[in-house]
């Protein structure tokens, strides 16, 4: 009978840590959503130095350190969110209160900026097209003709001087 070597061992034993728990998916996802939202808020409002994002990343790291220190000191499993939530939510709230942006940050009310460049160019084209049509009716050197789809184009007749 052949024996298969047993290669499985605890990888944490290499680091000298014997009884430690790893982070769960929720321990990364829940604070990560807040960090991502703060990054969006910084980009949307154009905050200087992306202050919310930087503060959240630093505080998330500090919360991770606090989690691992508590695991080491208590030698028992600890819920990581017990440390991560206060370390990420409180700095965002305090910073937004100091900056006077709490309502916008908390409610997520971001006013949509209207893009006037598209509307003005379309309105400008329509007004210039109507001016060309009006000028075409008065000036015999213009011919107004229908192009594909019914759009009107005003061109000078060949041989006419500008």
Give the per-residue pLDDT at 3. 76
Q: Are residues 39 and 74 in the same domain?
A: yes
Verify that 55 and 103 share a domain, yes or no.
yes
Looking at the structure, do residues 69 and 131 belong to the same domain, yes or no?
no
Same domain, 152 and 76: no
Residues 136 and 67 occupy one common structural domain: no
- Which parts of the chain sit beneath pLDDT 70? 1, 6-22, 109-162
Q: What's the mean pLDDT when you consider all of the chain?
A: 76
Structure tokens at 61: 């790291």
DSSP 142: E
Tell me which residue range forms the domain holding 133.
Answer: 125-162
Domain assignment of residue 115, yes or no: no
CA separation for the pair 40, 61 (Å, rounded): 19
Task: Report the pLDDT value the prediction gives residue 93, as an integer from 0 to 100.
Answer: 97
User: What is the model's pTM?
Assistant: 0.57
Q: What stretch of H or E contains 35?
A: helix 25-45
pLDDT score at 10? 64
């Amino acid at each position: 009978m052949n024996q298969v070597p047993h290669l499985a061992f605890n990888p944490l034993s290499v680091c000298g840590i014997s009884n430690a728990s790893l982070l769960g998916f929720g321990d990364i996802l829940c604070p990560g959503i807040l960090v991502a939202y703060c990054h969006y808020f910084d980009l949307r409002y154009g905050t200087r130095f992306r202050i919310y994002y930087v503060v959240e990343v630093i505080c998330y790291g500090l919360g991770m350190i606090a989690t691992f220190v508590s695991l080491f000191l208590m030698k028992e499993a600890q819920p990581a969110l017990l440390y991560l939530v206060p370390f990420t939510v409180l700095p965002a709230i305090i910073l937004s209160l100091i900056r006077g942006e709490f309502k916008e940050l908390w409610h997520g009310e971001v006013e949509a900026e209207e893009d006037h460049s598209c509307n003005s160019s379309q309105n400008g084209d329509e007004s210039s097209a109507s001016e060309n049509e009006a000028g075409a009716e008065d000036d015999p050197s213009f011919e107004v003709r229908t192009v594909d789809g019914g759009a009107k184009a005003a061109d000078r007749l060949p041989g006419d001087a500008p």
